[in-house]
Amino acid sequence: MKKVLRRRPSAAMIVAVLALVVALGGTAVAAKKIGLGSLSPSAKKKTVGVGKLTYVITQQTYNADQPGGFNGYFLTANCPAGTHPLGGGTKLASPTYANSSFFLIEDYPSASGFTSHFYAGSSSQADVVQVTAACGVSQAVNGSPPSPGG
């Protein structure tokens, strides 16, 4: 029969494990105590996303040549009432990209949602453009969205 040697844990190991248990327990207690209900009313107003995050998607097909001097198309994904745009993006959702004439000029948060300014579509290729806005609740909004082209 083989003799199995088992060493006792060192004092340093015992202290390290004990410190880990205490730290994790303290974090759990703190996380439980810090909830939205424990925030002061002024802190709640400054907190972005006190409500749910809502994604809004707007999609449109463009399939005509643009006349000379044309300034491009604008497409906006509008946020629901009571929410503000937190971010967003624009993508080309066309099934084939090889012949696409899509060209993004700029996209930006606007007062009502997320707006995209672009060129798209031609007589040989229809372009499907999709704009997405991420909208959230914030009781205190300061400033205004950037101006287009700025």
| 129, 103 contact by CB (below 8 A) | no
d(CA 16, CA 1): 35
Predicted confidence at residue 50, as pLDDT, reads 53
Tell me the pLDDT band of 38, cut-offs 50, 70 and 90. low
**Average pLDDT taken over every residue of the chain:** 79
Exposure of 109 by Cβ count < 10 A (0-12 exposed, 13-18 middle, 19+ buried)?
buried
Does residue 142 have a pLDDT over 70? no
Exposure of 47 by Cβ count < 10 A (0-12 exposed, 13-18 middle, 19+ buried)?
middle
pLDDT tens profile 72-104 = 889 999 999 888 888 899 998 877 777 777 888
Domain ranges across the chain: 11-39, 47-136
Mean pLDDT throughout 7-36?
79
